[in-house]
Amino acid sequence: MGDTIASLKIGEKGVIDDFSLDAIPLSLLEMGCLPGKEVRLIQIAPFLDPLYIKVNGSHLAIRKEMAGQINITKI
């Protein structure tokens, strides 16, 4: 199985691969969480949820469950 945003460690980067549009909320797509975009894990909240990421120049908080559905290629 491939890597996901949830598998990143703090400071690691990846490029978002294709994903099922049905699985991702429209709000994440609107904020630039799109295939081909670079994503970096900034911080993990206490109790490991949510994850704070930087994508498309914006800082976003994303639930770990959702992050586990977005496939990436680590760089």
**Please, what are the averages of pLDDT over each run of 10 residues along the chain (75 residues)?**
90 89 82 92 94 93 92 93
Cβ(6)–Cβ(63) below 8 Å: no
What tokens were used for 21?
């549009």
Domain ranges in the chain?
Answer: 5-74
pLDDT of residue 75: 92
pLDDT of residue 1: 57
Distance CA 46, CA 32 (A): 25
pTM of this structure: 0.88
- Say whether domain 5-74 belongs to CATH 3.10.20.600: no
Q: Which of the 8 DSSP states describes residue 9?
A: P
